[in-house]
Amino acid sequence: MFRKAIDVIKNNLNEFKDFAFKGNLIQLAIGVVLGGAFGDLIKSFVNNIFMPSISVFSASAKDLEHAGFTHWKVRGILFGQFLADLISFLIIALAIFLLMVKVIGWVAALTRKAQGPTLPAEPTDKECPYCLMKIPIKAKKCGFCTTVLDLGPVVAGT
């Protein structure tokens, strides 16, 4: 009774192990972690370097305590942090576009160029001159009409 339950658990664990340790899943996990870290890095750059440097130029001498971009507002609507998040998004989107579309496209084009021109594939079938059905190119006898074919090239209308 317990043997069957243990076998079911072992099979499920083995199936889970096969699923969890596939190369694609591990690569996806690494990509998600690196993407999150990249997003945090860009957000830190925008919040700690880019936006404060813009805030310096927009601050008045009498209002230095409210000079940060997080205090920017128009009619009570705070837009400074939203602007920082928008800039972060645009930088991340640009980086992904350049990396995924341009760089990988460029590498793919170089790979195709290095492989050289592709030759058309050799034909794999021919037409039986009697029943006009397609048969393998090496066939000596038609599988449809059982006609013995010549060993030479097949000429239509013969």
Residues 108 and 77 in one domain: yes
Please tell me the total count of domains within the chain.
2
Enter the tokens of residue 90: 């645009």
Query: What pLDDT band is residue 58 in, cutting at 50, 70 and 90?
Result: low
Residues 69 and 10 in one domain: yes
Q: In this predicted model, what pLDDT tens digit does every residue of 118-150 receive, in sequence order?
A: 777 788 899 998 889 999 988 889 988 988 887
Residues 35 and 77 in one domain: yes
Residues 103 and 127 in one domain: no
Q: In this predicted model, what pLDDT tens digit does every residue of 93-113 receive, in sequence order?
A: 888 888 888 888 888 888 888
Residues 83 and 127 in one domain: no
Instruction: Using alpha carbons, list the distances in angstroms from residue 16 to 28, 33, 85, 147.
Output: 17, 21, 39, 55
Segment 52-76 shows an average pLDDT of 67
CB 144 within 8 A of CB 127: no
Provide the CB-side half-sphere exposure for 97 (13 A, CA). Answer: 6
Residues 29 and 71 in one domain: yes
- The SS3 of residue 138 is coil
Query: What pLDDT band is residue 88 in, cutting at 50, 70 and 90?
Result: confident
**What's the domain range around 128?**
121-158
Q: What is the DSSP letter of 136?
A: E
Ramachandran angles phi, psi of 27, nearest 5°: -65, -40
Question: Above 60 in pLDDT, residue 64?
Answer: no
Query: What pLDDT band is residue 158 in, cutting at 50, 70 and 90?
Result: very low
Residues 110 and 133 in one domain: no
Give the CATH number for residue 19: 1.10.1200.120
Question: Above 80 in pLDDT, residue 27?
Answer: no
Name the helix (H) or strand (E) containing 10. Answer: helix 2-20
